[in-house]
Structure 1
Amino acid sequence: MSKSRIFLFLMLCFIGGVALRSLVFIGSFYLWFLFGVLTIAVFSFSRNRTALLYAALIAVTIAGALWYGRFVPEHLALERFVGQEAAREGSIVKDPEFKNTTQRLVVSFPEAPSERVLVVARRYPEFGYGDIVRVSGTLEKPEPFDGFNYSAYLAKDSVYFTVSFANVALVKEGSGFARGLFALKRKFEENINAALSSPQSAFANGVLLGDTSGISKELNDAFIATGMSHITALSGYNITVMLIFTHLLLAQLLLPRTVVFWASVGIVAAFVVMTGASPSVVRAALMGLALLLARHLGREGSVLHILVFAACAMIVVNPRILAFDVGFQLSFLAVLGLAYIAPWLEAKLKRIPEAFKLKESFVATVSAQAAVLPLLLYQFHQVSLIAPLTNVLVLPLMPFVMLFGFAVGALGFVSYHAALAVAYPLWLALSYQLGVIHYFSQFSYAQIAF
């Protein structure tokens, strides 16, 4: 067995150990005991290379399980205050999420800085990243609902408690580089809102930024009925499709491969910065860049190795994303689809003539959608009977929407009129997509829940 193959299996075993500990509680004592037994066995079969290889794979699996355990706190300092109403001062450590009538703030308090609290407050006054605020309300522990492990979902971001209907007052306005990034994101969103009317602007912000605050309940229900909810979940699915399409367009300029590669990297880096550089966006961009790097190096056969390495590195930083971060899962599956399904589909469609890169766009979007479909069915617990048709009609325009949407938001920093000129074709594409979604959502047999 080659060294690269052994390295791949070692990474997969580490990920498997993290996955096992994520889903099944195993005490650290038993893991260390198993590791000790394994060590004794290794010394007993020290000359058998096959036995040593299997021992190494098992050891790395145990290491993955133990590594996950390091991120699960045994005791929570704030737990003794659960059920009590109190007022505390803390800092906002994540960019706030704004809904129609509420805002969601992730706050860290000095007495337990690693135990973050999700605070749900009135929409106004609005707060920002880094603000010092005084939170008044009842501390609660998140409970699962409808089979959804809400506490584990929040814990991936080190959020262990919630405060609903809180009264929040500003103590001191924040500052710093990260706050500037989120302000840039807010301005980027305002540029899109200025250039596009609603609901096209809300749809564009959902696709580009994952911000669904401007999307009406009726439109959100239409997304669900037609199986299109995933397009507003900012993940590797969106970013990778934009990255591949950007790379294809730049390649048409007959530039050197190295120039095309680094220009694509620069565009994605600019997108990440202008959308706030949140961890989910960074992870999605890294997954897309991993695929692009494999193609640039001419190592299509090593795509799986590079993708698994990228995923493993992210899991080392935060192992809880493996089981509880849908965005990470979508990113990985979408890139796998582009790496393995797209070449097969492209070969099947080789007789179809190319026109304005529409075939490549179709192949990329359908391949990514096919890869993430099983996960979407599992997460949303429903089947849209017309999802295949609506996805085929809507998704081929996604690279165009992503690229032109980014152009509108970026040009808005320079010139409103320049952004408006690019916004006209973007508005047409968004209107077409919304029209298709609205039309098919009206069918009574559009979806079946399970």
Structure 2
Amino acid sequence: MRRLTVYCMRILAAVSRSPSKTGTALLASFCLGVLIGPFFVSWPSAWSLAAVVTFLVLFALFSLRAHARGFPFLLLAILLFGLWRYQQSLVPEGLVTLADRTGSVIRVEGRIASDVERRVSIQQAILDDVRVAGEPVFGKLLVRFPLFPRVAFSDHVAFACALERPEPFNGFAYDRLLASRGVLALCAFPEFIAVSPGERAGKVGWFFSLRSALDGRLREVLPEPHASFVSGLLFGGSASLSQGLREDFSRTGTSHILAASGYNVSIFSLLLLHLFMQSPLGRKRGLVASAVILCAYVVMAGATPAVLRAGLMACALLVAEGARRRPHARNILLLTLALMLLMNPRLLLDDVGFQLSFAATAALLFVLPRVQSRFHLLPEAFGIQTAIASSTVAVVITLPILLWHFGQVSLAAPLVNAFVLPFVPYLMALGVAGMIFGKIIALPAFALSYALLRVIRIFSALPFASMQIGYARTAAVIAAIAIVAWLLLRAQASVETRIRQGRTGARL
């Protein structure tokens, strides 16, 4: 035991002497604290924990002046800070929330605080500043309004409704997903709806208006269901698609491409950077051009929280690619993760979109360079090799997450994703070009959308396209262990290869 302690202290001392490794350790400690936060919800109290963190930080800073023995205490302090930050994100005990006012029909009023999602037969929005029977109540409310009267961001609405608690369905923790966004109750059938225009919507309202205008423009140049499909790729969401088509996406394991996540935005950014690097712009100008286009996309997509997170992940990918050095890339990704968790610690365990974004971005940064040589037979023209390699890596790495949350395995998913994902960035680009230049330029987008939807429909019709797994979470853990083991073996083989090359060079 003593030898193990000495060995660990030596490792920590070595880490503390390396700025890059120190940054990695500190950022990872905070993220680990957030990760274990749910297991320490009631221990100790939040303010006691804050006092312990303050003491450890002061002690560590004092100790670090003379030697590195204070570094473990600093790591512990950062870990406890992450745990404390998670506790602060929970609803305080004894506070009356919307979840406590469910069950009976009651008068509700509030302000629409999200972009309005218009579906085939309803319009859905999130309310804040909610009052129930005239009294302010803590929490946000998800409301499914009828198509009329029309509601918009910042409108003040009042209605009668029987509030409901969100519930999991088909093994998916829908209640936890909504809780991570502050939504504590649902209203499915509001009655006697009164809508009054709110105050000036400000910049957020301008973003939503821009997104709505662009979405309308897209529907002018593309017919359905292609307009809804391309809109889902660009802005996220599948609400406008028919129920049958949404089931086709689910059965083929391609629903993720209709979410505004770092999954497809990162692949799009990587492909864009690859194309710019092959152009006369070169690497540095290509990075700048990619970043400008990425920022424009965030604005066009309405700058919603999901889009902002996707943009941040893609931006981290671009910055890491520009840094070239792997330690820098690792710290950039961890810093992005830590900042997001500092803003909302519930994302890590409760938001599947965030998990897919982070896993896909990490895969593109650290796994893709190790396996891209396996795709050398594919042509490099138009970024085809990069598109297929990156999409394949993203699908494999995110498989445990999809298994854990949805418990459904699409046997057709690997093949369908191999066909569809490489062309998603091109369809996104063609969709934007069609919005700008009109129907003639939108024809290639229509043709590509038709081909991709046709592939999805053909594979969805197969009887073995999708199957439900009884022990999905066990399978997810096994898949995760297998992926981690494979990555460790690849890393070990890479280290051994470098050692042999070094010895050979020394002999020469």
Q: Same fold (TM over 0.5)?
A: yes
Please state how far the C-alpha of 1:58 moved relative to its aligned partner.
2.1
Rounded to whole Å, the distance in 1 between the matches of 2:39 and 2:376 is: 43
How far apart in 1 are the matches of 2:252 and 2:445? 22
Note if contact 2:20-2:327 (Cα within 8 Å) is conserved in structure 1: no
Paired position in structure 1 for 2:493: none
Rg larger in structure: 2
Match of 1:169 among 185, 191, 194: 194
Check conservation: 1:365, 1:395, Cα contact below 8 A: yes
Residue in 1 that maps onto 2:35:
19
Pairing 1:13-412 to 2, within 5 Å after superposition = 13-22=29-38, 25-29=41-45, 32=48, 36=52, 52-74=70-92, 75-79=94-98, 81-108=101-128, 109=130, 111-112=135-136, 115-167=139-191, 168-176=193-201, 177-409=203-435, 411=436
2:432 and 2:113 map into 1 onto residues whose CA distance is 26
The answer as to whether partners of 1:102 and 1:122 remain within 8 angstroms in 2 is yes
For residue 87 of structure 1, report the CA deviation from its aligned partner: 2.0
Distance in 2 (CA, whole Å) between partners of 1:183 and 1:40 is 48
Segments of 5+ residues of structure 1 without an aligned counterpart are: 412-417
Higher RCO by CA contacts (8 Å cutoff, separation 6 or greater):
1
Structure having the higher helix fraction is 2
State the TM-score, normalized to the length of structure 1.
0.91
Is residue 448 from structure 1 mapped to residue 467 from structure 2 by the alignment? yes
2:19 corresponding residue in structure 1: 3
Residue identity opposite 2:460 in structure 1 = S
Bigger Cα displacement from structure 2, 72-81 vs 26-35: 26-35
8 Å contact 2:158–2:194 — kept in the other structure? Answer: yes
Deviates more, 1:231-240 or 1:250-259: 250-259
Per-residue deviation at 1:280? 0.9
The alpha-carbon distance between structure 1 residues 356 and 105, as it changes in their structure 2 partners (threshold 3 A), is: closer
Q: Deviations over 1:336-358 (max 9, x none)?
A: 11112221232223354423321
Deviations 1:113-150 (A, max 9, x none): 75211122212222111111112212333234444433
Counterpart for residue 474 of structure 2: none
Give the deviation of 1:174 after TM superposition: 4.8
Query: Aligned to 1:28, what secondary structure does the other structure show?
Result: coil
Deviation track 1:215-241 (CA, whole Å, cap 9, x = no partner) reads: 111111111211111111220011111
Length-normalised TM-score, structure 2: 0.81
Q: Distance in 1 between matches of 2:19 and 2:328?
A: 13
Match of 1:428 in 2: 447
Structure 2 segments unaligned to the other structure (5+ residues): 1-14, 470-508
Distance 1:399 1:145, change over 3 A: closer
Q: SS where residue 343 of structure 1 aligns?
A: helix
